[in-house]
Amino acid sequence: MSNLSQRDSKYIWHPYTQMQTAGLPIGIVKGEGSYLFDENGKRYIDAVSSWWVNIHGHAHPYIANAIAAQAKELEQVIFAGFTHEPAIKFAEKFMPLLPRNQQKLFLSDNGSTAVEAAIKMALQFFFNHQKPRTKIIAFRDAYHGDTFGSMSVSARGIFTQPFNQLLFDVLFIDTPTATNHSTVVTQFQQHITEHENEIAAFIFEPLILGSAGMLMYDAVVLNQLMTVAKDHNIFCIADEVMTGFGRTGKLFACEYLSVSPDIMCFSKGITGGFMALGATTCTNQIYEAFLSNEKAKMFFHGHSYTGNPLACAAAYASLEVWEQENTLQKVKEISKLNLEFAVRLQGKKNIENVRALGTIIALDVITSEQKGYTNSIRDKLYSYFIEKGILLRPLGNTLYVLPPYCISEADLNFVFDAIETL
């Protein structure tokens, strides 16, 4: 075995992959800007930002140099009882970008753990006040991660089916659409009526439910739900793991809202796609519930790599790149191109439900099979684009484009043209 693809098959088990039927993975040897290069020299446009994490482009020299410099000084230190400059610098630069009620930052190592921390913060808040609340409201089609707490507040479906008996009960409401706003609000209010003083939090992906198929909904209904929640002392948890860092056209999706969340979760684009890092922020009200002379009231949560200096250095450098390269302007340019392409697709016979928000555009390919993650059209679409040198990873029959912000107009139009010729 000489090439990467063959060597891989001896030991490696890949995520979200049916290893029995999947072909050999493509061996990638280099990334540069919006491109990936395989071991045979073929170039691919990374039109999904390598699972939604890469925002400034692959191997961005400024972030790479920041990590290299930090690695020569301090690569890791326990974050309980110790601190370091990269974590502090990141916090000082990051926290002022959030809604003003966000005052404290807890670091972890990925999106699922950021959500786990948020759930535990909300639940333990009421436990520490000796008024336990154990229920959470979530959208029926939600996806918040693959650990058990994050699975519990996610849709019950193919992702969770083997574990459903082990997940804690959640109060689900319908995912908002253009026509069901009042119904969703009524469902929310009914849960509160039936479970008064039992509900600790309402968790949501703001404006876009990513893994559910890039389902988009309006800020108006989310503001209504959050207002009702706050009227009943229910914490609002915004899962910005996917939507954060420019994906919706603003730095954070919550900037579209008039109501501020109590807890926010971040990962994916937080380091520009270089390092694994999760972040959970909260209000002082929540933080102060854990302050006590009793050690039993501390926040019992942590990870070996909490506050890793290399990841924090990457996250700080990524925020600097936002300023240096006027990244938000690039976001606006992609958003404009997406809207123009959405207009071009109107009336195309084999697709439906074209939708766009910020740097994300999605559509559903019409097939005779039931819609959903296991629709077989997915594999055909994936292969079709790979042959053209484009990395797109459909969610069943849902095709979406979510590129790095450095992508050129020519390359984005190349991707659009390939979609249009389906």
Catalytic residue among 46, 239, 364, 411: 239
- Same domain as 175, residue 251: yes
Catalytic residue among 268, 316, 330, 364: 268
Q: What is the largest CA-CA distance in the chain?
A: 66
- Same domain as 190, residue 43: no
- Same domain as 181, residue 95: yes
Domain containing residue 20: CATH number: 3.90.1150.10
User: What residue type is 8 in one-letter code?
Assistant: D
Query: Residue 2: what pLDDT?
Result: 64
* Angle, CA of 146, 247 and 287, to the nearest 5°: 60
pLDDT by residue (tens digit) across 331-355? Answer: 999 999 999 999 999 989 999 999 9
* Angle, CA of 378, 362 and 276, to the nearest 5°: 80
pLDDT by residue (tens digit) across 209-251? Answer: 999 999 999 999 999 999 999 999 999 999 999 999 999 999 9
User: What residue type is 290 in one-letter code?
Assistant: F
Give strand pairing partners of 281.
105, 264
Distance, in Å, from the CA atom of 232 to the CA atom of 209, rounded to the nearest integer, reads: 25
Taking CA atoms, 191 is separated from 74, 150, 260, in Å, by 49, 20, 22
**Of 298, 323, 348, which one is at a domain's C-terminal end?**
323
Q: Which residues have a Cβ under 8 Å from the Cβ of 60 and sit 6 or more positions away?
A: 272, 274, 321
Return the C-alpha torsion angle 172, 242, 99, 113, nearest 10.
70
The domain tally of the chain equals 2
Query: Residue 237: what pLDDT?
Result: 99
Query: Residue 1: what pLDDT?
Result: 44
Whether the CB-CB separation of 306 and 84 falls below 8 Å is answered with: no
**Of 284, 306, 323, which one is at a domain's C-terminal end?**
323
Whether the CB-CB separation of 378 and 397 falls below 8 Å is answered with: yes
Distance, in Å, from the CA atom of 28 to the CA atom of 123, rounded to the nearest integer, reads: 43
Distance, in Å, from the CA atom of 202 to the CA atom of 180, rounded to the nearest integer, reads: 19
Residue 350 backbone phi and psi in degrees, to 5: -95, 10
Query: 347: domain range?
Result: 4-56+326-420
239 noted as active-site residue: yes
- Same domain as 332, residue 319: no
- Same domain as 49, residue 28: yes
Query: Residue 290: what pLDDT?
Result: 98
- Same domain as 368, residue 335: yes
Q: Which residues in the chain come in under a pLDDT of 50?
A: 1
The answer for 206, left when phi > 0, alpha when psi is -120 to 50, beta otherwise, is beta
- Same domain as 391, residue 259: no
Instruction: Tell me which residue of 232, 295, 304, 242 sits closest to 262, measured CA to CA.
Output: 232
pLDDT by residue (tens digit) across 92-119? Answer: 999 999 999 999 999 999 999 999 999 9
- Same domain as 284, residue 335: no
- Same domain as 304, residue 236: yes
Catalytic residue among 35, 44, 143, 305: 143
Instruction: Tell me which residue of 317, 402, 386 sits closest to 59, measured CA to CA.
Output: 317
Whether the CB-CB separation of 310 and 85 falls below 8 Å is answered with: no
Instruction: Tell me which residue of 223, 217, 224, 220 sits closest to 243, measured CA to CA.
Output: 217
**Of 323, 344, 376, which one is at a domain's C-terminal end?**
323
Whether the CB-CB separation of 26 and 5 falls below 8 Å is answered with: yes
268 noted as active-site residue: yes
- Same domain as 73, residue 52: no
143 noted as active-site residue: yes
Instruction: Tell me which residue of 152, 138, 146 sits closest to 112, measured CA to CA.
Output: 146
Distance, in Å, from the CA atom of 5 to the CA atom of 23, rounded to the nearest integer, reads: 9
Domain containing residue 168: CATH number: 3.40.640.10
Give strand pairing partners of 282.
104, 263
- Same domain as 75, residue 48: no
- Same domain as 268, residue 193: yes
Q: Where are the alpha helices (DSSP H) in 23-165?
A: 49-52, 61-71, 85-94, 111-128, 148-152
Helix (H, G, I), strand (E, B) or coil at 35: strand
Distance, in Å, from the CA atom of 254 to the CA atom of 226, rounded to the nearest integer, reads: 12
